[in-house]
Every structure is written in C-alpha cells, then in structure tokens.
Structure 1
C-alpha cells in the first residue's frame, strides 16, 4: 500500500515538473519577443530626424510648409488607399514625403527608396497615388482670375512691372520627357520592379502664370510624332484660347514669346521694330514677360525631375506634372524659402528648351498695332 502511495506522489511530482517547464518556456518566449521588438529599428522620420537645413535640401520645402501639405492631402490619400501593400504599410506622412523627395530630383530614386525603407516598386506606387490625389485638386489651386476684382489685381500687378497695361497672364510653352514603364522581376524573383522601355515620349506643356509666378492655367498634351504641331497650333487647341474668344476676359490680353503667332488676345514682341514706340513696347513686353520664364525656372529648380524624365504612363505623367504645378503654387503662396528664388535664376533665360521651334508666320497684329499706338506713342 505504501508503495502505491509513493508511486502516486512521484506522478504528481512529474506533473509539477512539466508545469514548471511550461512556465519557463512561456517566460523565455516572451523575453525573446520583447528582445525582437526592442531590436527593430524605428522607421526614419525626416520631420524629426533631419535638421531644417538638410530637410530643405532634400524635400524642397520647410518643415512647417510640408506639414501643411500633409494635412491638405492626408484625408484624401487615406480614402484612396484601396490597395494595401504586401509588407508593412508605409505611414501616410512618409508616403507624401517620399513622393516629394523623389520629385525634387536631388538624388537617385533608389537612394530615395532606401531612405524611406521601401522598394523602388513601392515608391513608384506611392508617387502615382500622391500625384493622383494632388492633381484632383487642380480646380482649386490652378485657376485664372474669375471675379472683376481678381482680374483688376492681376492686371495691376503686371502693369507695376514695366507699365504694360491690360495684361492678365504670360504664356509659355515647353516639353517634358517621360518613359512608360514595364514590370520586370528583380534578381530574387520576389518582387516586380519598374523597368524602362526603350520608347521615350514627350509631353507639350503650356502654362499661363501671373506676376507673382503662380501658375494660373495648365494645358498638357502628348506630342504626336506623326503630326508635329507648332506652338501656335498647340495654343489653338487649348481651352484658354477658347475662353478669350468667348470674351471671358474682355479687354485683357496674354503675353507670348516669339514662337507663337500674334493674335487679338495674345500679344508677342514686334520682330522688326520700326520706330521708338515699337521699341518701347518690346522693352516693356520683355520685362513683363520675364515673369513666365522665371515661373518655369522656379518650378524646375524645386522639382528636378522635370529636367530629366518622368517614369510612368501618359496619364500618370500628366497627373505628376499637374501635382507639381499645384505644389509650386503652394510654395509661391506661402513664400517658401527652401530654394533661393534669386540665385542662378535669370528671368530672361529659361532653362527649358522648346522642341517645337519653328518660327510662326506673321499673325493678326492689328490689335497690337493699335495697342502700341495707344499706350506707347512717343
């Protein structure tokens, strides 16, 4: 009987030992998980990890203004976030920051992706998403003066430059290259990476800016190699020309360069001035029109990607350019000091070159002739 009792006690001892082992295993696993969590590096946050100077160099805005952009875009970006990433989701703030840093063109895209802990493919998806959300706000941030007071303020600002009256905008055209992407597997075969096609295409961009270098109208068209249209023909296809023909801006004019044809609403320089009045007009035109050149130079200085090429489809490239125009207008409105607006930016020479460079035939200059006689007569 005593032997049976001893045997039962030993069985209980074994049960206690097993319970103790389970306790030790649980404690060990919890410590391992805690150690693993502690070893995980926190995600890079440029708003806190970079000083103001380095932040401006990389992100082309002050921290304060980029926080404002994040707040403007955040809600829409969260709504549009319909396709979750396979790995850990990138915070909304870092999505916006990484897209703007890529557009700044201050480094190789792979370095931008590495800095934010994402792959090139993920960075491409992020930038397309951010560009889509920003471009949807174009009607709010890119618009011509609508009310009478807005038109008068715009005209007064231009007239204050060189006493050129009735001007409501300066028009300039240029081209930007883009390359469509294909998807190719990486070396490990685990992820699809963007691969450039051999085909390179161009977009024709027409902007109308005001005296404060803000973009007031934007027209983007794919250049068809089969029918290379001149700048004048491109202007004829734009909505802004229709708006002037419909007398929406009655009594006001646009200024254009020598690559477009003079018309009743678009005044260009006199190619061969014959008297002092025309020379005075040409001088006032050149000084006033410098606003358009400087606007384009400021846009490219802030977003270096425009000087290289944009990757993506025709539609995504248009959205990216529209997004950059909106971001440019925000910077102008907030007087963002991230890029030096005077250093190496000549208002008389644009860093963009127009690929459609055929000089137009003489246009309808009767209105211009009367304008010169009225405002620039000696």
Structure 2
C-alpha cells in the first residue's frame, strides 16, 4: 500500500540536487544507496494545483493515461523496492517537468540508471497512443478566422531539441548550425495549437526541406490524400502545389497581402512550440538520455500536449527556468518561381479590390 505521509520536503530535495554530465556507472551504485522513503500516493496528498504544477497533467488525465498505457508497463523489480506503474508514470512526468534524472530518481527513491530506464519505458508506452491523439484533420474554418487564408490544412515548421549523451560521442550529424547538439523536430499543428503530425528522428544538421522531402506526410500530400488543401511553411521549404511559402520579393499589393495573411496564419506553429516546451520544460533544457529515448520523450510529450489541449488542462508556469530557445541560424531560403496554385490564389482571393 502507498503511504499517505506528508511530502512537503520533496521540492526542497529536488532543487538541492544537481544533475551531472559525465559520471561513471559506479555513481549509480552511490545513488542506489539512497534511503528508500515510503512512496507517497501523490494523487491523495497533493491538492489539484500542486499536483498539476509538479506533474503537468491533472489528476483526471493521469488516471486516464495510466489506464491506457498500463498494458505496456510492469512493476519494477526488487532492486528499486518495487515501483508501481503509477509511480513509474509520475516519475516520467516529473522528468518532463524538471529534465533531471537525478532529481526525479530521488523523488521516487531509485537510482539514476533506474530512473533513465523508467523514463524510456514509460515514454515508449505513451508513443503507442500516437495514432489516437496525433492525426490530420480536414477542418479549415478555424485557420480562415485567423487571417482569411483559405483552405489551410495545417502549418509546418521545425524546432530544435537539445541533447547530451553522457560518456558517449554524439554523432557529428547531430551538431546544428549553432554548434550544439540537437534533434531537428518537424511538426504540423492546427489552428487550435494541437499537433497533427510530428517527426523526431532527424539530426540537428538536417535541413528542414530534407526532413519534409523524406516524410510520410509529403508522400500523402503527393497522393492528394487531403484534397485541395495547403500546408503553410516558411522559405526553408520548397513551394509545392500543396505547400505554400512566403513570396520572397513581393511586387504587388496582392502579394504583400498574401504574405501578411500567410505570416499571421503560420504563427500558430510557433505558438504551439512555445506552449509545448513551457508545459514540458525538459524540452527547453537539454535532454540527457540516449538519442532513442530522447525521440520517445519528444513524441510522448507531443501526445500529452494534445491530451491537455483537448481536455482544457490549465497551462501552469514551469518550476524551472527555461533558457531561450535553440536559436539555430536561419536556413537558406529556397528561391523558386510561383506555381499555378499560388498564381490562382493571388488572383482569386488576394486581389486588392476584394480585400
């Protein structure tokens, strides 16, 4: 049974600890000597606001999520004093909130290596829900309300998530233009700031256009799976019949109006990224796990972001300071001639006299 003892000192413990980058495996043995405290049922001992602050989901959503991923989890062995699926989930959510394996391990009373394993297992379990919670919808009306840009399927962009792999050399392709190591994550969101598509398997040096060119999404668009609707992207992407980008050198009022509407509508993806990283601060710090685990964390938090948005879970401030985002230098713009779809849109919708 879970203890109901007070855990008022937990935050002090968490912030007193610090993570390390290049420790030996023997350090895990030191952490394993930590005195196991009775594991608390935080759903009982924390009020609603404190629970949301610590775990980034409310109690209702944690209970629901646990039910969905329970078949993919098992209770940990005796080495870590038996960690229930609930505490595995709470430990993982705590990692998403703090970004420190040492701190979250101490939070539950396990070693750093055990915490790392739990975060990986739970994150992978959550990714099994991807097709349920991250999918393309064909609603365009909400986008039109933003800046009167018609027939928008979604807005697309990439963002960098910084990574660090202890005791191992990170492949050079993960070094981005700024010189740090990252995963370049491509995502599409809707007008309500929910993810409709996400791809986290690309290294930080990969150009946005390359990611899109090799994506399932591009193949689907080529097959006209979503009909006569457009993705909106910046000039790192190629102009396509199904992907519209800004006009680099507008020569008319119609082209200027097109660019203005395009920019306002495309801003949804930046807002989505900002909200996602604020809700799960580990994404704005440096993920110190294996690359495969980092990929799972990225997808899992995107799923949780959508769950929170769907259920109107409050966006509470993070407990940790999130540094400014990974400002990778702007990629070279792709200078391409207008296509017939863009010409038709300019003539039929962005004519000056119709605005």
Partner of 1:199: 170
Work out which of the residue numbers 296, 302, 314 in structure 2 matches 1:319: 296
Partner of 2:7: none
**Superposed, which structure 2 residues align to 1:110-259 within 5 Å?**
110-145=102-137, 151=138, 154-181=139-166, 196-197=167-168, 199=170, 201=174, 202-223=182-203, 228-259=205-236
Q: Is this contact kept in 2: 1:229–1:356, CA < 8 A?
A: no
Instruction: Indicate the SS of the match to 2:197.
Output: strand
Q: Is this contact kept in 1: 2:161–2:326, CA < 8 A?
A: no
How many residues end up aligned between the 2 structures?
Answer: 302
Partner of 1:291: 268
How far is the alpha carbon of 1:373 from its aligned partner?
1.5
Q: Is this contact kept in 2: 1:203–1:221, CA < 8 A?
A: yes
User: CA 1:353–1:111 in 2, change beyond 3 Å: closer, same or farther?
Assistant: closer
Q: Is this contact kept in 2: 1:260–1:359, CA < 8 A?
A: no
Between 310-319 and 278-287, report the one with greater CA deviation.
310-319
Q: Is this contact kept in 1: 2:236–2:333, CA < 8 A?
A: yes
How far is the alpha carbon of 1:53 from its aligned partner?
2.3
Separation (CA, whole Å) in 1 of partners of 2:128 and 2:165? 22
Q: TM-score, normalised by structure 1?
A: 0.74
Point out where structure 2 has 5 or more consecutive residues left out of the alignment.
1-35, 175-181, 319-323
How far is the alpha carbon of 1:205 from its aligned partner?
0.7
Separation (CA, whole Å) in 2 of partners of 1:298 and 1:75? 30
Separation (CA, whole Å) in 1 of partners of 2:140 and 2:78? 49
Separation (CA, whole Å) in 2 of partners of 1:56 and 1:212? 22
Separation (CA, whole Å) in 1 of partners of 2:254 and 2:61? 46
Instruction: Indicate the SS of the match to 2:307.
Output: helix
User: CA 1:85–1:242 in 2, change beyond 3 Å: closer, same or farther?
Assistant: farther
Question: Which entry has the higher C-alpha Rg, 1 or 2?
Answer: 1
Q: Is this contact kept in 1: 2:55–2:93, CA < 8 A?
A: yes
**Superposed, which structure 2 residues align to 1:13-24 within 5 Å?**
none
Is 1:86 aligned with 2:79? yes
Partner of 1:361: 334
Separation (CA, whole Å) in 2 of partners of 1:276 and 1:108? 51
Instruction: Indicate the SS of the match to 1:311.
Output: coil
Separation (CA, whole Å) in 2 of partners of 1:354 and 1:173? 12
Partner of 2:311: 334
CA deviation string 1:153-190 (max 9, x = no partner): x2111112211111011001122222334xxxxxxxxx
Q: Is this contact kept in 1: 2:239–2:245, CA < 8 A?
A: yes
How far is the alpha carbon of 1:287 from its aligned partner?
1.5
How far is the alpha carbon of 1:272 from its aligned partner?
2.1
Compare the two structures and name the one with the higher helix fraction. 1
Q: Is this contact kept in 2: 1:230–1:356, CA < 8 A?
A: no
How far is the alpha carbon of 1:296 from its aligned partner?
0.7
User: CA 1:73–1:175 in 2, change beyond 3 Å: closer, same or farther?
Assistant: same
User: CA 1:322–1:275 in 2, change beyond 3 Å: closer, same or farther?
Assistant: same
Separation (CA, whole Å) in 2 of partners of 1:287 and 1:360? 19
User: CA 1:123–1:41 in 2, change beyond 3 Å: closer, same or farther?
Assistant: closer
Partner of 1:99: 92
Instruction: Indicate the SS of the match to 2:187.
Output: strand
Q: CA RMSD in A?
A: 2.3
Work out which of the residue numbers 337, 340, 347 in structure 2 matches 1:373: 347
User: CA 1:333–1:317 in 2, change beyond 3 Å: closer, same or farther?
Assistant: same
Q: Is this contact kept in 2: 1:173–1:231, CA < 8 A?
A: yes
User: CA 1:128–1:85 in 2, change beyond 3 Å: closer, same or farther?
Assistant: farther
Q: TM-score, normalised by structure 2?
A: 0.79
Point out where structure 1 has 5 or more consecutive residues left out of the alignment.
1-39, 146-150, 182-195, 342-350
Instruction: Indicate the SS of the match to 2:140.
Output: helix
